[in-house]
Every structure is written in structure tokens, then in C-alpha cells.
Amino acid sequence: MKDSLILQDLHATLDGFNLKNVNLTIPKGSICGLVGRSGAGKTTLIKVINGARFLMSGDIIINGNTYHDDELNIRQNMSTVYDVVDLNPFTKPKGLLKAYKNNHPNFNEGLFNHLKNMLNLELNKSFKKLSLGMQKKVMLAFALAVEPKLLILDEPTIGIDVVDKVNIYQMVQSYMENEDNAVIFSSHQVDDVEKISDYIAFIDQGEIVLFENKETLLSSYVYCNLDKDNPHVSLLEAPRKTAFGVEGIMKQGEAQKHQIAHQRASLEQIFMHICGKERS
């Protein structure tokens, strides 16, 4: 099985939010950046991938298995760190460690101890007394220590300082040394996603509106700032008016064909113009 995750014609309603016609294939050995504004559906999609089946249709295939056929195998080989740690606030990481050791057959205590030292984790304080950043680091260490085949990180760098952010990137890259593994890295911070991802998925209003190899995507578009009367304004995708004219992204081939002044588009510019436009 060459793909870690396959979503086919997925429709779901969860907590009043609708996911619509989601199709996504993430190969093994790759990191997929899931990018969307707050409320676009990132966390809802992650919950559905994790088995929250509410008014759902379509297929979820994880490492060749479906929840119907082998849910235990899926859960033993997938870890998720959500944007908010949803645990009893009086729980201590030290107690959680015992639970992980007893309930996760793949739990690697040696790896956990390595990550504990690397991230300076505090295990003796309750989660209530830990900062958001420390809570996330603790849960990430647990998630990696079960040695999953699919690792899902929902807004992992919010509340994390610059030094720990670099450490997290290094941890994910070490995890990806196993080419059977894959990561979904969800964020609305486009710069973070651009640094670490192999594939990019834009989600907007519950739909995947773009999925592409990162390098292919970045080489496909250019950024242009044109006078409002320029005859090539119509070639801009999702143009925006500015004080100086009209800005937008354009297919690189069109810009070269018409000799239009341009610069390489950043992932943030592509995201802004694709997901920032009005959609019916």
C-alpha cells in the first residue's frame, strides 16, 4: 500500500459544520500541509479522519484499512495532537505516561524519555498548571512515542516559542526518516506549513479547494500587480483591487506568454487569493 490516507467523496456533518465532497490522497513518506482560515474545517476534518462518524458518507482508508474492517489496527497506528488538549485539567503527564505504557502496545518509553529531555517537559504538574505550549509539547511527545504510521498535528505551533518550534520541526523530520510514515500538519499559519510540507491542501468552507505537490504549486503561479486598465487583468485569478491597481496570482505560463512583469508567488499569496475570494 503506497498511500497512507485516502479520502473518497467524503461528506460529513459534525457539530453543525459540513464537510463536502472531500477527496484527498496522501502518499506514505510525505507531509501534507492542511491550510485554512479559522473555521474553514481543518479540525472537523481531522476529527472525522479519527473516526468521528456523524452523518457521514464516503470512504476513509488509512494504511489500507477502513474503520469497518480493522478499527483497532488504525487506532494503534495513528496519533493525533489537537489544537486544544481535551483532558481532565487535574491530570498529570506522569499519570498519563502510565496509561500510555499500559494501553499502547507500540509505546517506546526510550523515545519518550529522549523527547522529554529534548523539550524540557514537565511531568509532575497537572495540565491545568501547564502553559498551552507545554501541554502541546507533552502531547506531541506521547503521540510520537507510540510510533504511529500516520501522525496528525492540528495547529501544533500555536503557543510554541521559536526555539521549541524548531525542535518540533526536527522531531517531525526525524519521524519522517521512516518512509512508511506520513504526517498531516494543519495550520492557518502558512509560513509554518511551507517550511515543512511536501504536499499542500487548501480547505475552505468545508471543501478541499486545492491539493498539489508544494514545489509544483509554487512553480505554477506568479504574483502580479497591474494597472487597473491593463488588458491582462482578466488573466489574474481571484484579483484584488489595491490603491495602485489590481493584484493577484497568475499561471506562470500566461505571464511569460504575455510578457507581464511578475515575481514568484509565495504560498501565502496563493492561499490568500484562492481562499480569500468570495465563494458561492
pLDDT tens, position by position, 98-113: 999 988 889 999 999 9
User: Which of 114, 241, 246 minimizes the C-alpha distance to 167?
Assistant: 114
> Is it the case that residue 152 has pLDDT exceeding 90?
yes
Residues 116-147 pLDDT 10s: 998 899 999 999 999 888 998 999 999 999 99
The pLDDT tens digits for 12-39 are 998 889 999 999 999 999 999 999 988 8
State what percent of residues in the chain have pLDDT above 70.
97
Q: Mapping DSSP to helix (H, G, I), strand (E, B) and coil, where does residue 238 land?
A: strand
CA distance 141 to 34: 21
Distance in angstroms (rounded) separating the CA atoms of residues 228 and 114: 57
List the domain boundaries for the chain. Answer: 3-205, 217-275
Q: Look at residue 231 and tell me whether its pLDDT is greater than 50.
A: yes
Query: Rg for the chain (alpha carbons), in Å?
Result: 21
Q: With bands split at pLDDT 50, 70 and 90, how would you rate the model's confidence at 162?
A: confident
pLDDT at position 91 over 60: yes
Torsion of CA 92, 97, 70, 153, to 10 degrees: 70
pLDDT beyond 50 at 187: yes
Amino acid making up residue 55: L
Task: Report the interhelical angle of 132-145 vs 93-103 (nearest 10°).
Answer: 20
Average pLDDT score over the chain:
91
Between the alpha carbon of residue 13 and those of residues 10, 53, 56, 174, 209, the distances in Å are 10, 8, 7, 35, 18
| Position 220 pLDDT exceeds 90 | yes
pLDDT confidence of residue 273: 85
For residue range 41-50, list pLDDT tens digits in order. 999 999 999 9
- 54 falls in which pLDDT band (50, 70, 90)? low
| Residues 100, 246: Cα–Cα separation, whole Å | 55
Whole-model pTM: value is 0.90
Strands across the sheet containing 199-204: 78-81, 150-154, 182-187, 31-35, 199-204, 207-213
Task: Look at the block and give the residue holding cell 479547494.
Answer: 209
pLDDT for res 254: 94
d(Cα 163, Cα 180) in Å, to the nearest integer? 28
DSSP letter string over 85-103? --S-TT--HHHHHHHHHHH
Q: Which CATH superfamily is domain 3-205 in?
A: P-loop containing nucleotide triphosphate hydrolases (3.40.50.300)
Question: C-alpha grid cell for residue 40?
Answer: 474553514
User: Dihedral through CA 68, CA 74, CA 76, CA 79, nearest 10?
Assistant: -130
Q: Where are the beta strands (DSSP E) in the chain?
A: 3-14, 17-27, 31-35, 57-62, 78-81, 150-154, 182-187, 199-204, 207-213, 221-226, 237-242, 245-251, 263-264
Residue 202, C-alpha cell as written in the block: 487548501
Nearest 10 degrees: Cα torsion 242, 246, 247, 251:
170
Residue 275 banded pLDDT, cuts 50, 70, 90: confident
What per-residue confidence (pLDDT) applies to 55?
Answer: 63
pLDDT of residue 277: 61
Q: Mean pLDDT throughout 69-79?
A: 93
Report whether pLDDT(181) > 90.
Answer: yes
Q: Tell me the pLDDT band of 280, cut-offs 50, 70 and 90.
A: very low
Q: Which three cell numbers stand for residue 123?
A: 511531568
Does 260 score more than 70 pLDDT? yes
